[in-house]
């Protein structure tokens, strides 16, 4: 009998919540077939079967949080398989594990066969409570596509409406609607609570003139070299962090020291339909502007479709959040523990300003907010840091000169 145990699907993970079983007792599985979904504070990971065989027991119930090393299910290996422990083959495929934001709709039990579908298609199906086993595939290979799910949903609309009317008539006058508090939402809550109760937060606000940077960005776009604003932000942050390394650090209270990180791994907070994910641009200081542009776009796209890898979510050293496109004008962001600071960029809008020559001008101004650990840094240092960052953004030629 082979034990499938919860293993570390991310750097430093100690526990996870059983989000969903993809098999039932009696199902026959093949080696590397996903059998269980586990939710951590950053991801939902599909753990594969280490051997081919038959599922004999699902030990841990869905929704329960367990520590690394806990046996989740048992598989009776086929006689042709070599007897191995579950951990060995799983560790070999850790970097290949698909991770994605979880959904809040209870999972639909699977039948005896594994439906071919992408994680994004499965996500849509679960959001609408659709059993993929019931969706006719249009692809000759048998793969169920996003379009197949939507066609199935449209065809079922009339029946669904009738059911809703019948159910509504049996409800009380004041029905209560609930949303499950589990999965990544629960893990985020735990981490945010840890951050707020551990770190004395102070938030510093600043405004940045984006006029010249936006003009340069438009010139580059016209020349066929588009560079995102986020790429400029990351590059400017790298130079500011190099000048003020205390913000690219973590506090080690046990040993009474502040550890100044030597790498620059920038977390980019990304809002998805199912929760906040922070993919990481690793070694950002070694990437060109074009590489930063491409990397951020790739991570954002994969986060939204649920195709991030475990390596994309390894710990960052500093986190940024660009909430401006959503319309935010200000906030007091919570630090991504155990980092010492987080910076948020808010909406850019045209304002009437007075320039250095006392002339009234219209400029594109952006607010930023920076929360920092007051045990590690003081307000004056935070102001100096944002001044350095703002200077590079307001005078992008200076930023480009830093690259030479």
In DSSP terms, 46 is beta-bridged to: 37
Residue 246 CA from chain centroid, whole number: 25
Contact 292, 264 (CB under 8 A): no
- Is 374 a catalytic site residue? yes
CA dihedral 361, 383, 227, 290 (to 10 degrees): 150
Question: Residue 75, SS3?
Answer: strand
The CA-based angle 214-216-217, given to 5 degrees, is 60
Catalytic, out of 7, 293, 346, 374: 374
Give Cα separations from 308 to 43, 100, 293, 305, 333 (angstroms): 9, 6, 17, 8, 24
Report which secondary-structure segment, H or E, holds 300.
Answer: helix 289-305
The CA-based angle 5-282-235, given to 5 degrees, is 155
Report which secondary-structure segment, H or E, holds 290.
Answer: helix 289-305
Q: Which residues are catalytic?
A: 374
């Amino acid at each position: 009998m082979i034990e499938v145990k919860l293993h570390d699907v991310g750097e430093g993970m100690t526990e996870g919540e059983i989000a969903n079983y993809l098999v039932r007792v009696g199902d026959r599985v093949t080696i590397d077939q996903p059998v269980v979904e586990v939710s951590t504070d950053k991801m939902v990971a599909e753990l594969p079967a280490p051997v081919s065989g038959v599922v004999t027991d699902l030990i841990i119930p869905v929704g329960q949080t367990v520590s690394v090393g806990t046996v989740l299910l048992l598989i009776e290996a086929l006689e042709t398989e070599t007897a191995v422990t579950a951990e060995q083959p799983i560790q070999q495929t850790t970097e290949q594990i698909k991770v994605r934001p979880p959904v809040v709709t209870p999972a639909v039990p699977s039948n005896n066969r594994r439906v071919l579908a992408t994680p994004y298609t499965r996500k849509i199906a679960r959001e609408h409570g659709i059993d993929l086993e019931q969706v006719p595939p249009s692809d000759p290979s048998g793969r169920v596509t996003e379009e197949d799910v939507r066609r199935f949903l449209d065809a079922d609309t009339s029946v669904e409406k009738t059911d809703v009317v019948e159910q509504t008539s049996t409800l009380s006058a004041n029905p209560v609607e609930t949303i499950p508090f589990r999965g990544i939402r629960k893990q985020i809550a735990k981490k945010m609570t840890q951050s707020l109760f551990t770190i004395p937060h102070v938030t510093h606000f600043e405004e940045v003139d984006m006029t010249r940077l936006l003009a340069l960005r438009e010139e580059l776009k016209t020349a066929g070299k588009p560079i995102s604003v986020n790429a400029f932000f990351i590059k400017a942050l790298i130079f500011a962090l190099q000048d003020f390394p205390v913000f690219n650090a973590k506090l080690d209270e046990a040993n009474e020291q502040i550890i100044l990180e030597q790498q620059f791994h920038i977390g980019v907070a990304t809002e998805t339909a199912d929760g906040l994910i922070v993919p990481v641009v690793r070694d950002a200081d070694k990437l060109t502007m074009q590489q930063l542009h491409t990397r951020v776009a790739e991570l954002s796209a994969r986060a939204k479709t649920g195709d991030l890898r475990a390596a994309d979510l390894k710990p960052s050293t500093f986190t940024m959040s660009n909430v401006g496109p959503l319309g935010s004008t200000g906030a007091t962001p919570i630090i991504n523990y155990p980092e010492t600071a987080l910076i948020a960029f808010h909406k850019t809008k045209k304002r009437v300003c007075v320039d250095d020559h006392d002339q009234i001008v219209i400029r594109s101004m952006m607010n930023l907010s920076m929360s920092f650990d007051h045990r590690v840094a003081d307000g004056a240092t935070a102001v100096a840091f944002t001044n350095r960052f703002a200077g590079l953004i307001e005078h992008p030629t200076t930023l480009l000169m830093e690259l030479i």
